Structure 1
Amino acid sequence: MGGRWLVTGCSSGLGHALAGAAARAGHELAVTARKTVDLADLTAAWPGRITPVPLELRDADSCEEAVRTAVDRLGGIDVLVNNAAVGLFGAVEEVSDAELRDQLETLLVGPWRLTRLVLPLMRAQGHGHIVNVSSVGGRIAFPGLAAYVAGKHALEGMSQALAAEAAPHGIRVTVLEPGMFATRYGSSLTEARHRIPAYDATNREMLEGARGLADHPDTGRPEDFAARVLDVVGADAPTPLRIPVGDDAYGYLDLADVAAREELTAARALVQGPPPVT
């Protein structure tokens, strides 16, 4: 039986692929973008299954209206996918307060707000699934992407707390951590207005890599991401809270796990000192 989905960020990339795959699988969806004209191809391909909804994620009234529209058109919400995202490139010293707030509004505050709006509906019906699309950047950091990484780390922390709070009400929570996928992330990446040449040697290669992400030979296909989401949402057995998506994501996080263990060992040695001589 199909479910009722609200999916953000569907004008392109991962969200666009997911919307089409979910509709093909028999689900009904309210899909969002800032401009609904960017959703015209999805609406035309899946009339009656896809409802386009305008959403400015940083605006509280727009979020409330999007949830109301989804409930009115679908009769409820079984699955919320917080997918919409945008990246900001800049060293910590380069990013202004306003730029940081804008990044966190999109990556953390907006998804938190939508989650808060759908939770009463899901608690009342006794089931639901909240899928927060993070990144490998939700567990590791990259130079020049401090603001983006901060938002994704925060989203994962919120999700971990939410999972414990929501489980008694029959609500599942999943964090997806994609690696490299062929999306507009790199081309739409904005740069901090204030640039400091001293950081070019550290950050320039990362920026160039992000810009060329879609053309990288190891970049994943959004359709593969969409298939993984459908598998996770459709799973009968309990699934892990955090699920990397893409072979490269597992590689990155394996390395991060080793580094974290080494750091913990070094910290313990620093605090406790060398073992006593016997």
Structure 2
Amino acid sequence: MAKRWLITGCSSGLGQALAARLAAEGEQVLATARRPETLDALVARHPGTVVAAALDVRDPAQCVAAVERAVDAFGGVDVLVNNAAYGQFGTFEEVSDAELAAQFDTNVFGPWRLTRAVLPVWRAQRHGHAVFVSSVAGMVPFPGLAAYTASKFAVEGAAESLAAEAGHLGVKVTILQPGGFATGYSGNLVMPEQRIPEYTAVSDGLLGALRSMNTKIEVNSPELFADVVWRLSQLESPPLRLPVGPDSETFLEAAYDARRSEYDQVVKAGHHTLA
């Protein structure tokens, strides 16, 4: 039976690839973007299967309207994919209050307010699947991406809380943790207004790597992401966390090992007792 999807950030990259894959599988998709005209070709290729809607996740009214549009078009929502996000570059000291607030408004508050808008539908249906597109940066700190990393850590905490709170209502939650993908991420990377020379040694290497991501053949393709999410949606009991891409597994395994090692050392030394 076809599922009913609401996906954010479909103008390019991961969201566009996912919407196209789902449409090809016969799913019903409400594809959203801040500029809905960027979805015209997708809708033309899949008439009746893909419906486009304007959605800026920073706008609470548009979030509510998108859910209502999906319900009107399909009769409900089975899967919400919180994909829309961007990267704010800059070290901790370089990122201003305004830049930090803007990063969280899109990457954290946006998924929160959209999921909150769809939860009444899921309570009535007694089922739903919230998919949060995080990143390896949701567990691995990268010098030069302090604000982005903080936003992804926050998304993962919010998603885990949702799983604990709404599981008894039939709501499933999955946190996707992609590695490097050839998307528009690097082109949409926002630079801080101020750069401090003392930090370039630790941050500019990452900046160069991010800017070259779309040209590297070893970077994962958006189609891989779409395939993973499609197969995820077929599982009766989807996992809470799911690495996406071989490089993601490498990063996350190292992060888990490092945290476990540090924890063991602290406990063994007795520092946690403050004695």
TM normalised by structure 1 equals 0.95
Tell me the secondary structure at the aligned position of residue 181 of structure 2.
Answer: coil
Aligned residues: 272
In structure 1, the partner of 2:26 is: 26
Task: Tell me the distance in 2 between the aligned counterparts of 1:161 and 1:128.
Answer: 16
What's the C-alpha RMSD, in Å, of the aligned pairs?
1.1
Equivalent residue, structure 2, for 1:208: 208
- Residue type of the partner of 2:10? C
Measure the CA separation in 2 of the matches of 1:23 and 1:37: 18
In the alignment, does 2:20 pair up with 1:3? no
> Is contact 1:180–1:218 with CA below 8 Å preserved after alignment?
no
AA paired with 1:261? R
Distance 1:169 1:56 in 2: 28
Residue equivalent to 2:256? 257
> Would you say 1:245 and 2:208 are equivalent positions?
no
Gaps of 5+ in 2: none
Alignment-derived partner of residue 79 in structure 2:
79
**AA matched with 2:241:** R
Partner of 1:276: none
Q: 1:266 corresponds to which letter in structure 2?
A: Q
Question: What pairs up with 1:37-116 in 2 under 5 angstroms?
Answer: 37-116=37-116
Distance (Å, rounded) in 2 between the aligned partners of 1:45 and 1:271: 62
Shift in CA distance, 160/94, structure 1 to aligned 2, threshold 3 Å: same
Residues in 1 aligned to 2:211 and 2:189: alpha-carbon distance in whole angstroms? 8
Deviations 1:16-64 (A, max 9, x none): 0000011111111111111011111111110101111101111111211
- Cα distance in 1 for residues equivalent to 2:268 and 2:215: 44
How many angstroms apart in 2 are the aligned matches of 1:261 and 1:218?
30
- What's the % identity of the aligned pairs? 48
Runs of 4+ in 1 over 6 A off after TM superposition: none
For 1:272 and 1:76, the matched residues in 2 are separated by: 52
- For structure 1, the residue ranges without an aligned partner over 5 or more in a row are 274-278
1:192-212 per-position Cα deviation (integer Å, ceiling 9, x unaligned): 111111111110111011111
1:230-252 deviation digits (Å, cap 9, x = unpaired): 1111112x232000000010001
CA distance in 2, matches of 1:235, 1:114: 23
SS in 2 for 1:187: coil
